Amino acid sequence: MRWPFARVAWVGVLCLAATHAAVAQSSGQEAFERHCALCHGLDGRGFGPLADAMKLTPTDLTRLAARNNGEFPANRVADVIRNGGNVLGHGSSAMLAWGTYFAEKGQPKVARERIADLVGYIKSLQQK
């Protein structure tokens, strides 16, 4: 029963995103949609198109604060983006080190800003 729901949600999210994109496009949101949504889903909840093909379920990024006593773990999120998922103790290469990727694409300073934008955007996705 997970599939039909995930599909419907995904279509809904795509429509929402399309309307949203026209209104407000933060650079954090743009980076998220480009680099993260395939696995984590456009809404960050972990239902991206690739999610079902993965061994590990992508984390629901909208509940990071809720799962951390209401406090958004900004440093941990930045670290996961910078160094990859291995900080979780899974030793996983399922999630690449995006910091390296961003740094290679531009300057380290740009990478830092990108990561800060992404962390800010993920923070804005938090649900109670």
**Per CB under 6 A, which region of 3-11, 22-30, 33-41, 105-113 contacts ligand HEC?**
33-41
Cβ–Cβ < 8 Å for 33, 17: yes
83 binds ligand HEC (CB under 6 A): no
CA distance 37 to 128: 21
When binding is defined by CB under 6 A, the residue of 59, 84, 103, 111 that contacts ligand HEC is 59
103 binds ligand HEC (CB under 6 A): no
50 binds ligand HEC (CB under 6 A): yes
For residue 122 the two structure tokens come to 């993920």
